[in-house]
Structure 1
Amino acid sequence: MIDLDGVSAQALSDTIGAIYDCALDPHQWPDTCRKIADLCESTGGGICVHDMRHVQNDQLFVFGYQPEFLEKLGSQYAQSPMAAADIVSDIGHVSALSMDGPELFESRFYREVLKPFGLLDMIWFPALRTGGRMASMHASRRSEKAPHYQQLDISLFKLLSPHVCRALTISDALDIRALRSEMLEKTLDVLIAGVFLTARDGRVVYMNAAAERQIRTGNSIRIVNNRIFPADPAARAALAKAIDEASRDDIEKGAGEHSLAIPGMDGAAGYVATLLPVDRGERRGIVAPFAASVAVFTQDPVQSPLLPGEAFARLYRLTGGELRVLLALAQGLSGKDAADMLGISEPTVRSHLQHIFSKTNTPRQADLLRLLQNSTPPVRGSTADVYQSLEAACR
């Protein structure tokens, strides 16, 4: 079992179990967010969902904040260090505002959003990108005794972030509000994602309609001896090992990554598989009719719409600092105003800008902003919208 100073192994195990309970019952997220925040001595926290298509920022399951702060944060989110960092960060990557050092306390975001409400630091990680939306989990501190997050807190968040990301991915795929056992089979059968429920020994005890369609194609997955049988030998071994780990009683033994690729054969498209233990906690009652131990979700790796600036930053390998400067200038701010907003000096802005010119091979700012505008990716419909339509049709 993993142990951190001041955090018991049992507390970690209970928290990870609570996170997975949220995958099938999102109404449990408020209590789980508090559990996570308590482990790192935070006074506030929750989940933020930023809708890039509708320029909307929603704080879900939050606690410890004044309504005025949440309103201010929503209106200033696009200019926050969190927004730019999330664009260039991988899902699950943990950051803290204090990592920016003195720059944070000179920034407009700190002066206008955090300081008036007594907040001294925030820690967070991007947990989900789908359909033009980004979800992130965060916690915050206002205590003068421990104003900033330390390496212990960052390590704790790094330990928990893969589990939160996996639980949110599953909830988003299912588009669950409150799932009931008697409706489970009907709900699963309208999903685009394939769902396999397996016993502890890997035997398949249930497949939804999408999973049956995936099996019929035979290019990536088959059923052999009543078990999921990927065509790729490496994926076959990895899936068997993941199902075994996910089904163990000791959830810490299954704390590794439970998402894996299942390649197709002969150039055929494959799937991404995500595993969820379902025989413990609240999940046990939901899937009781199937006597299942593990749920395996298999989805086509459809590329989600990129967030504004994300494609550009990844294409030209911009750093977080460079992207923040670029996005500030794209709003029409002058170099001086951008420096004031970000809490850096004008020479630093000019230095970042010169690096961006070099990386993008643009000679001046007007050409750079034109290149950024032309690089904005097309928006595609959200898979969640499809699921909502299917749910409505089945009512």
Structure 2
Amino acid sequence: MNVVPCRALAAARTPEPETADAAAFADTLDGLDASLYLVDANGRLIHTNAAGRAVLDACNVLLEIRGLLMACDPMITHRLRQAFAASGRGDAAAGARESAIPMVGLDGARYIAHVLPLTSGPRRRAGAAYRAVAAVFVRKVALTIPPRSDALRDAFRLTPTELRVLLAIVELGGIPEVAAALGVAATTVRTHVRRLFEKTGTARQADFVKLVAGYATPLRDMGES
């Protein structure tokens, strides 16, 4: 895999917002913990919040090259470009639905990028203020097994994969996101979710949150008030 060295990157300045509404919107975006990038149909960066700039400066998973948002992995860059172009054309497949793209950093850490089109519905106004066609939200995925998960696994006789899917559903919130983070097909995740429903006696994914929370809550010592 060819990766562009950090010292070879050309840092391009982000254009200033042109309206008071856009400036207020920028302040809101900069307050987000998630990394966020507003791009045009060609992938040119129009606005980056503070968290997003930190990710770019790290040169671990995403890069800014000549003002374009790119990934360290050329295949991910290709997928991002396809999503941006589709958003710009207003394709039906991208016009109202976000896409989840799993990414792996150079240090092996896993990330997930959500590309949200801004060219349809109420999102259009926000996108127009920046001449942006898509917003890209990036977060690091930490699919670690928390303490007390052994008790959860033993109580419901879960396989290691079922336990990981259960915890991933609680953390990421949806089958497409879990499939992207784990690098498996959504149908595979659905199969595991059905088995989890049967084994845990639950009926909704929201019930998984209560289930895991119950086992994650530390027990007080018997002598503690």
On whether the aligned pair clears a TM of 0.5, the verdict is yes
The 3 A distance-change label for structure 1 pair 319 and 300 is closer
Partner of 1:193: 34
Which among 131, 134, 139 is matched to residue 294 of structure 1? Answer: 134
Partner of 1:376: 215
The 3 A distance-change label for structure 1 pair 284 and 264 is same
Partner of 1:275: 115
Could you tell me the percent identity over the aligned residues? 25
Cα separation, 2, equivalents of 1:194 and 1:246: 19
Larger Rg: 1
Q: Which runs of 5+ in 2 are unaligned?
A: 1-20, 163-194, 203-210, 219-225
Which amino acid counterpart does residue 138 of structure 2 have in structure 1?
Answer: T
Which among 315, 320, 323 is matched to residue 158 of structure 2? Answer: 315
Cα separation, 2, equivalents of 1:183 and 1:295: 17
Instruction: Establish whether residue 258 from structure 1 lines up as the match of residue 99 from structure 2.
Output: yes
Which amino acid counterpart does residue 315 of structure 1 have in structure 2?
Answer: L
Q: CA deviation at 1:256?
A: 7.5
Cα separation, 2, equivalents of 1:253 and 1:195: 18
Partner of 1:209: 50
Q: CA deviation at 1:189?
A: 0.6
Cα separation, 1, equivalents of 2:98 and 2:134: 14
Aligned length: 151
**SS of residue in 2 equivalent to 1:202:** coil
Root-mean-square deviation (CA, aligned residues, Å) is 3.5
TM-score normalised by the chain length of structure 2: 0.56
Cα separation, 2, equivalents of 1:286 and 1:229: 23
Cα separation, 2, equivalents of 1:234 and 1:244: 15
Which among 78, 81, 88 is matched to residue 240 of structure 1? Answer: 81
TM-score normalised by the chain length of structure 1: 0.33
Cα separation, 2, equivalents of 1:285 and 1:268: 37
Alignment of structure 1 residues 12-161 onto 2, 5 Å: none
Partner of 1:334: none
Q: Which runs of 5+ in 1 are unaligned?
A: 1-179, 326-371, 380-395
**SS of residue in 2 equivalent to 1:376:** helix
